Homo-oligomer: A and B are copies of this chain.
């Protein structure tokens, strides 16, 4: 089941550099593990923004929430979730 997720990151200016570096490293590892598992299908950087547009393919709402809630950057993110489905004009759906 597909969901578009827009994640905007806003790190505090006075964040401890070591905490920051560690959080970003954990975020990257976490994301890549889910990409390899096939649940985090796409991740694109929005140009000029500290934000990404992602597409998830998950079993259900509960699993999507579990993934997002455990993002190391979750406390610093504004997240927008859009449930998706097949479009009738999609050639892959014909």
Contacts and interface: CB of A to CB of B under 8 A. Distances in A.
Interface of A: 1-5, 11-13, 27-28, 31-32, 35-36, 42-49, 52-53, 55, 60-62, 64-65, 68-69, 75-76, 79-91, 94
Contact of A65 (B28, B47, B60, B90): B47
Contact of A85 (B61, B83, B84): B61
Nearest to A68: B48
Please indicate which of the listed interface residues A31, A49, A76 has the most CB atoms of chain B within 10 Å of its own CB: A49
Contacts of A49: 79, 81
Given A2-B61, A13-B75, A46 B83 contact: yes
A15 to B, nearest CB: 8
